[in-house]
């Protein structure tokens, strides 16, 4: 599904990503771990096409399509969804209206007819049940005055509604209390399917007690220095990241 080859990217002329190679297949969950400042959020931003990053080298493919040639909104419509570390608040736009617009744009892009009001309502109800999302939150302004847990619930609800191919979740460590951990992990576990993939960014091993990843990667100083199974996450929890400085980069 996703193929990244030798990806290099700068911000303000400073190289942040220094040659990333990554292959994510449909049906897989990959965890990207690594110390603060190693470039995890930058990788997510570059995949989503945020403008402050300049790609200087490398390739990114999504099901055979060249992602680096696409504008951010095109990437979203092709199915790359990035749940941000700090979800933005959009006063005055209700959640449900945001989703209605996003969904009709996606459907139009894929030459699908728009959903009728009745179909949209039915879908909303189904997905609310699936991810145990409180209907009251759906009608509130997007993220306005949401608690941390409510924002997480909302992110998962957005994923459930929009059904992206590639779900990228960038989880800050501080923001994840035990409730938020459960919300995110229950949601991901319900939504993971043979036709989608998840990239979970965290430097927090605890999330991976609830979501069992197929592959764990360590990002260190802008490069993936090690890839392994879920046991690697446990090893990192015990040993930290410093020992990896000495390792030869291993490309997945
Ligand atoms: P992580 O998510 O792994 O903590 P980031 O991707 O946020 O890492 O940051 C990687 C590096 O890029 C850090 O050295 C950080 O200081 C730098 N960086 C991030 N955003 C900016 C920015 N807007 N301007 C300059 N440097 C930045
Ligand atoms: Mg950080
Ligand atoms: Mg980060």
Q: 197 forms bridges with which residues in the sheet?
A: 166
Q: Which of 7, 16, 203, 244 to mutate to test the pocket of ligand 1 (most atoms within 8 A of CB)?
A: 16
The CATH number covering residue 191 comes to: 3.40.50.300
Ligand 1 midpoint to CA 28 (Å): 27
Ligand 2 midpoint to CA 176 (Å): 14
When pLDDT is cut at 50, 70 and 90, the band that residue 96 belongs to is confident
Protein residues with CB under 6 Å of any ligand 1 atom: 11-12, 16, 34, 36-42, 52
Which strands, in side-by-side order, build the sheet including 53-62? Answer: 14-24, 2-11, 53-62, 65-66
Determine the structural domain holding residue 221 and report its residue range.
Answer: 2-246
For residues 203-220, give the mean pLDDT. 90
Asked if residue 152 belongs to a domain, the reply is: yes
Query: What's the pLDDT at 19?
Result: 98
ipTM: 0.95
Asked if residue 118 belongs to a domain, the reply is: yes
Note the pTM of the prediction, 2 decimals. Answer: 0.91
Ligand 1 midpoint to CA 14 (Å): 10
Q: Where are the alpha helices (DSSP H) in the chain?
A: 40-48, 72-78, 95-109, 117-130, 135-138, 148-162, 178-191, 207-210, 230-239
Asked if residue 185 belongs to a domain, the reply is: yes
Count CB atoms within 10 A of the CB of residue 242: 9
Asked if residue 251 belongs to a domain, the reply is: no
Is a pLDDT exceeding 60 seen at residue 22? yes
When pLDDT is cut at 50, 70 and 90, the band that residue 90 belongs to is low
Q: Which atom of ligand 1 is nearest to the CA of 42?
A: 6
What is the rounded CA–CA span in Å between residue 27 and residue 48? 20
Ligand 1 midpoint to CA 108 (Å): 35
Asked if residue 100 belongs to a domain, the reply is: yes
Q: Which atom of ligand 1 is nearest to the CA of 35?
A: 3
Is a pLDDT exceeding 90 seen at residue 3? yes
How many independent structural domains does the chain possess? 1
């Amino acid at each position: 599904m996703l193929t990244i080859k030798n990806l290099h990217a700068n911000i303000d002329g400073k190289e942040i990503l220094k040659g990333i190679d990554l292959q994510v297949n449909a049906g897989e969950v990959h965890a990207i771990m690594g110390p603060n400042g190693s470039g995890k959020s930058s990788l997510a931003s570059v995949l989503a096409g945020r403008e402050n990053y300049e790609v200087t080298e490398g390739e990114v493919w999504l099901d055979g399509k060249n992602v680096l040639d696409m504008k951010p909104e095109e990437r979203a419509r092709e199915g790359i969804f990035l749940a941000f570390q700090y979800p933005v608040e959009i006063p005055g736009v209700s959640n449900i209206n945001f989703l209605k617009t996003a969904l009709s744009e996606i459907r139009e892009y894929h030459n699908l007819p728009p959903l009728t009001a009745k179909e949209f309502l039915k879908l909303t109800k189904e997905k609310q049940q699936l991810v145990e999302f409180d209907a009251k939150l759906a009608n509130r302004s997007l993220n306005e005055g949401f608690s941390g847990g409510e924002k997480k619930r909302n992110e998962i609800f957005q994923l459930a509604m929009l059904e992206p191919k590639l779900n990228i979740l960038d989880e800050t460590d501080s923001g994840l209390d035990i409730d938020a951990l459960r919300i995110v992990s229950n949601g991901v576990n319900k939504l993971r399917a043979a036709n989608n993939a998840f990239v979970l960014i965290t430097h927090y091993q605890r999330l991976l007690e609830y979501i069992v990843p197929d592959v764990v990667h360590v990002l260190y100083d802008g490069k993936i220095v090690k890839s392994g199974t879920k046991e690697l996450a446990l090893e990192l929890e015990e040993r930290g990241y410093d020992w990896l400085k000495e390792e030869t980069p291993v490309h997945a």
